[in-house]
Amino acid sequence: MIEDDFYATLKLKTGEEIFAKVAPTEEEDRTLLLVSNPIIVSEIKGRNGVVGYKIEPWLKTTTEDMFIINIDDILTMTESSDIDMIGMYQRFCRETFSTKNNQTKISRKMGYLANVNDAKEILEKLFKKS
């Protein structure tokens, strides 16, 4: 019997830990997982402890968003009902989808742009002041 899609954290036998929307499926005599937009979540720590999280795609050299993982390659899996984690995941998926479609271009509105010599000069002044 096939269940509905669900959000889950998967620990693979390779040691990787990913978060994704998962859909189990039966094929012949084995169970496979259809994993949608898998991500890796890393904690970013500051001086006072955890400051935030860094989210990045599981596989960085592909534009695919759906992967098939054999259940035998999974060490453990836990269904997630963490609203914050699901929200971060959905936000990442929306931003990734809109970036793929729009291919946003760099502009001055995104931040300060400088040439190498100007940036070097500014950094040297900051270094000398410290």
CATH number of the domain residue 116 falls in: 2.30.30.100
> In this structure, is residue 57 part of a structural domain?
yes
With 80 as the cut, is the pLDDT of residue 102 above it? no
Q: What is the DSSP letter of 61?
A: S
Q: Whole-prediction pTM value?
A: 0.68
Whether the per-residue pLDDT at 35 is higher than 70: the answer is yes
Domain count of the fold of the chain: 1
- pLDDT bucket at 106, cuts 50 / 70 / 90: low
Mean pLDDT, residues 25-43: 91
Contacts of 38 (CB under 8 A, 6+ apart): 10, 18, 19, 20, 57, 58, 59, 67
Range of the domain at 33: 6-129
User: What letter does residue 41 receive in the DSSP assignment?
Assistant: E
pLDDT band at 100; cut points 50, 70, 90: low
Is the pLDDT assigned to residue 16 strictly greater than 80? yes
Count the alpha carbons within 13 Å of 67 in the hemisphere toward its beta carbon. 18
**pLDDT at residue number 33:** 93
Q: Looking at the domain assignment, is residue 1 inside a domain?
A: no
pLDDT at res. 1: 45
Mean pLDDT of 87-94: 90
Give per-residue pLDDT as tens, 39-77.
999 888 888 877 788 899 999 888 888 999 999 999 999
The answer to whether residue 71 sits within a structural domain is: yes
